[in-house]
Structure formats: structure tokens, C-alpha cells
A and B are shown apart, each in its own frame.
Chain A
Amino acid sequence: MALRVTHHDGRLTLRFDGPLDLPATASLWTQTLTAARHAGGKIALDVTQVPNCDTAGATLLAAAETASGGADLIGANAEIVALLDLVRAARKVPASPAPDHQADPLRQAARAALNGLAFLGEVVVAVVRAPARRRMIPRRDLLALTDDAGVRAIPLVLLLGFLMGLILAFQSSIPLRRFGAEIYVVNLVTISLVRELGPLLAAVILAGRTGSAFAAELGTMVVNDEVAAITTMGIDPVTMLVLPRLLATLLVMPGLALLLEMAGLGGMTLVMGTLGFPPVAVLHQAVGSARLSDLLQGLVKASVFGAAVSIIGCRTGLGAGLGPRAVGEAATAAVVGGIFATIVLDGIFTVLFYRLHL
């Protein structure tokens, strides 16, 4: 396929030679349109030597015609004329602008916050009405969810807790050794784990494992119209789908946080052993450094974090849009939202416990 550009009486003529199909269109597109745009007026498109043409070729001719502001077609057979008419008609309707999915970020955030509050209200209503609607809470699901969110998370929680205790103890022992205060590593690690890191890390694990799973599962149910089916059966989706998940996380989170703390203390004991402190001395120091109220504060925080992660996971799942992408987005939002909410709540708890002298 070749293109010859000639001028006759100040008029540009583009002469095509050979079949005007998709490969030819690909090789001639830029050259043809550049010539047409710089023609400065009506051009001639000579297709006398074009034996056949497909819609790609006809689109090239139509695009050249538009770029130059008009063109005379020379030597076109009936097939080319018909195809060109078809392509011209197809190009007549302009595309509507893309819907504005990127609305004002502030407005979007405000809407998301309002929706979140409304959902929280729905959950509270469902909790209050739960005794009257207990038939709608599938007990078998509750057991399975507790197993999935709790029992199956234990190996990860133990490993992470052990490593965290080990790393914290090792890092803090380096500066404290300079002052001969290695034994206070136990105080530092114990308080950190029991009050802060235990519940916080358990919540992060819950957000990554369970919050995302809730969002993906409920999001898929939305996409498949299962949630709509539940609603049309007169069943409250929040009662049936959210409450068992909320209850499961409320049940497992204190246990997970406690296990993480125990594993962390185990890791710390190992490091302290290498520094010459026997396990009994470490245990004695740990018990003396933390109060029962510290442990209870941690467990209360763990339950609240668990509830937040669960509600956010369910909210993002039930609020998922349509299409396969929506499920992925819901899962991501559940993890990000769960971790963010956990940290914000932790800050609130810190201020609250300080004010209450706990």
C-alpha cells in the first residue's frame, strides 16, 4: 500500500495505491492526517487504485475528509462509497461526556461520613431489635465466622506477637544497657504490649484477614443481587449479614489480643534470657509492671477495634458498586478504613483513659 501526495492547481490530492485495510490504515494514518490537516482547504482523495477497503480504511478516508474540512472522492467503487457512507453515519453521533465519578473530594468525604453514620445507626437499630429478630441471625454462620475470624487467625497472631515482643525487647535493651537498666526492658515491653500493641496489632490482622473478607463476600452478594433477594424476602440484611459478623469479631478480638500479648511476652523472655535474666525474674518484673486495669483497658480496646473493623468491612461490602472491580475496591476500602478507624479510636482511648486517670 502506498500514498502519493500531489498538488494540482493549488489543491492537495492524496492518492492511495493498493488495498485499504487495517494494516494499510495503521501504516498510513499519521501521514494521511498530517497532510490533510495542513492542506488548508478541500482535498481530493484518489482511490482509483484501491481494489478493496474495510471499515478501518473507510475510517481513514472519513478522518482525512474531516481533518481537511471536506474532500472529493475520486475513482471510488460502489463498495468503497457504501462503506464510507456507513462510517460517516457512525461518526455523526458524538460521545456523551464521561460521567463525573471524580466529584469534589470534600463532598465525597462528607457523603461517605454521612453514609457511614447512617449505617452505624442501622446497626444499632438491628442490635436493639435482635432479640425479636433472632430467627434472622443464622447461628451456623456465626460459628463459621467465629472460626474463620478467630481460630484460623491464631497462628498468624502468635507469630506476629512473638516477633514483635522479641524485636521490641532487643531494640530497647540496647540503649537501656548503657544505664545498666536492662531489667526495665520488661516494664517497657509489657506495658506497650498490654495497653497498646496487643489490641492494635490484633486489629490490623483482623482488618487484613477478616475485614477484607467480609467486604469481598458481601460485595459479591450485592453484585449477584443476593442482598436484594434477602431484602425482598422481608429479611433485614443488616440483621442477617452484619450482626453475626459483628458478634463474631466481638467474641474473638479479646482472645486474639490476649494471645498476641502472651506471645509477645514469650519473645521478650527469650531476649531477656540472652541478657542473663531467668524467666522467673522476668515474670516477676512483668507482673509488677502492669496492673489488671491495663489488661482490661487493652481488652476493651480490642473489642471496640474489632467492632469497628467488622462494621467498616460490612459497610464497604454492602455499599459496593456493580461489576467485578467494585468487589476489589470494597476489599481495599475495608482494610484501609479498618486500620484508619483503629488508629483514630486508639487515639481517642488514649486521651479518654488519661483524663479518667486509668
Chain B
Amino acid sequence: MSEAALIEAEDVAQRFGDRTIFEHVRFSVMPREIFVILGGSGCGKSTLMRQMIGLLPPTAGRVMVLGHDMHAADADVLTRIGVMFQGGALFGNKTLLENVMLPLEMHTELPREARATLAAVKLGLVGLADAANRQPAEISGGMAKRCAIARALALDPPLLFLDEPAAGLDPITSAGLDKLILDLRAQLGISFVVVSHELTSILTIGDRCIMLDREARGIIATGNPSKLRDESQDPRVQAFFRRSAKVNE
């Protein structure tokens, strides 16, 4: 028997006024999969992710996450997903430990000692155990992203959404984050939806991807990122993977 998909996007569209960002978007994300949404700037990658995490209702179609229509779902579903925003979105007036403890405090009956222990373990998993008592303003961008992943992991969700995890990071830090994502999948069996346009990262971690295109207003390619790079005949896909600039841009 095949496993049920964690995410099903059914003919999803997004328009802002007269402007269509994308339409007829269909895909599914399977358990333990690292699914990458890629494409150039302005193609709607982050918009699609905002639909999946319930921040933006689709103009048409629906997105089912863990069996729930995210637009109509109650808040309980949100405790079963974790989200890392591009800049980390850590709370500046809390320590890293307190940032990770926050979801546990809001959604569980755990005593304070237990919350602190669990949060410390999550920080340990992302390699930030020794920085638990530091403030977000005192850490680097890469550490902030790791901490945001630890916070997203706080409630042990089966599904994590990462928005541009490699953006703004040096290659070594970025590679470290890629390794962390692969380790977490291997160790905890978590599925990831990653929005990215960083080629190295996409090719390292992605099992499957969809490529959005601004002009096509939708998906132009689906498959394994490495295979798409090597085998796709679509000039837009080739241009993306070969980093060729368009003459008119």
C-alpha cells in the first residue's frame, strides 16, 4: 500500500488584482521527502509556501496539508508543522532557549523544567546547545536560522517548511545547514518543503522539485533536481541550472 501524501496542492492559483502570480499548480509531497520549490525571483515560490502554511488563502484550488485544507483548518494543524522564515524571525527579547520553549509553553502542559530540557535538546540537535542563553542579536545569521529550525522542531512536527535557508549565508555555513536538513530527515524522519534558488543547496538536499516560472505563471518542470539539470530540454530549466542570464534582463 502506498503512503499517503503529506501535502496535496490541487489546481492552486494566486492572483493579486489583475496580476496572476501562478495558476494550475498541482503537486504532492510524500513522507520523508525533501521537496524543493525553485525558480527565479518573483515566480511565486514564497507565495506558494505562504499558502501551504495557511498565511495566504489561494485565489483558486486548495492546499491539503496533513489531510487538512489549510485555509479552513483549525489551529491544531499548525502545531503539526514547523516553519523557518528567511531571516529566522526569532523574538529579539528572548534568549534562544526561550525562543524554542515558546511553542512548548503555548501548546503543552509540560512543567517548566521539562520545557527547558526539551528546548535544550532541540538546540543541541541543531548544534546550538552552548548558545542557549544568548540573545538573537548576539548570534550570526546562520545560527539564527539553526535556532529557527530548532524552534520549528519544538513540537516534533512531521513536516517542516524552510523559506530560503541558504540565503545570505557563506558557502560553508550554507553547506552546514544542508547537512543539518539531511541529518534531521535521516534521524527524525521529517519531511521538508524548501523554498530556494540556491543551486548548490537544491542539488544537495532535494529529492524532488517543482520549478516555477514568472512568465509561464506556473510549474514548468517537475522531478529530481540533478536529473532536471542533466536531462531537461526546456531552455528555461537549462538557463536556471546553467545560470545563464537572459539578454533582455
Q: Is B173 an interface residue (CB 8 A)?
A: no
Interface string of A68-110 (1 = CB under 8 A from B): 0000000000000011001101111111111100000000000
Task: Report the separation of the CA atoms of residues A94 and B93 in the bound assembly, to the nearest whole angstrom.
Answer: 22
Our count of residue pairs bridging A and B at CB distance below 8 angstroms stands at 97
Q: Is the CB of B117 within 8 A of A98?
A: no
Q: Is the CB of A92 within 8 A of B124?
A: yes
Interface string of B109-134 (1 = CB under 8 A from A): 11101100110111111000111111
Given contacts A25-B114, A26-B109, A90-B121, contact A95 B137 (CB under 8 A): no
On A, residues with C-beta under 8 Å from B are 21-23, 25-27, 29-30, 33, 54-56, 59-60, 62-63, 82-83, 86-87, 89-99, 321-326
CB distance from A177 to the nearest CB of B (A): 54
- Note all chain B residues with C-beta closer than 8 A to A55: 118, 121-122, 125, 153, 156, 188
How many of chain B's residues have a CB under 8 angstroms from any CB in A? Answer: 33
Q: Is the CB of B114 within 8 A of A93?
A: no
Those of B148-187 within 8 Å (CB) of chain A: 153, 155-156, 187
Q: Is the CB of B187 within 8 A of A98?
A: no
Which of A33, A54, A89, A92 interacts with B156 by CB under 8 Å? A54
A27 nearest CB neighbor, chain B only: B109
Given contacts A26-B109, A26-B110, A86-B187, contact A95 B125 (CB under 8 A): no
Given contacts A22-B155, A29-B114, A95-B120, contact A324 B129 (CB under 8 A): no
Those of B6-47 within 8 Å (CB) of chain A: none
Task: Report the separation of the CA atoms of residues A167 and B2 in the bound assembly, to the nearest whole angstrom.
Answer: 81
A sample of 17 inter-chain contacts (CB < 8 A) reads: A21-B156, A23-B108, A29-B111, A55-B121, A55-B156, A60-B114, A63-B117, A86-B187, A90-B129, A91-B121, A95-B133, A96-B130, A98-B134, A99-B138, A323-B93, A323-B135, A325-B137
Which of B108, B113, B136 interacts with A26 by CB under 8 Å? B108
Q: Is the CB of A95 within 8 A of B155?
A: no
> Which of A90, A94, A95 has the largest count of B CB atoms less than 10 A from its CB?
A95
Main secondary structure of the interface of B (DSSP, over half): helix
- Note all chain A residues with C-beta closer than 8 A to B188: 54-55, 83, 86
- Note all chain B residues with C-beta closer than 8 A to A94: 129-130
Which of A89, A96, A322 interacts with B137 by CB under 8 Å? A322
Which of A63, A93, A324 interacts with B92 by CB under 8 Å? A324
Q: Is the CB of B133 within 8 A of A96?
A: yes
Q: Is the CB of A30 within 8 A of B111?
A: yes
B116 nearest CB neighbor, chain A only: A95
Q: Is the CB of A96 within 8 A of B124?
A: no
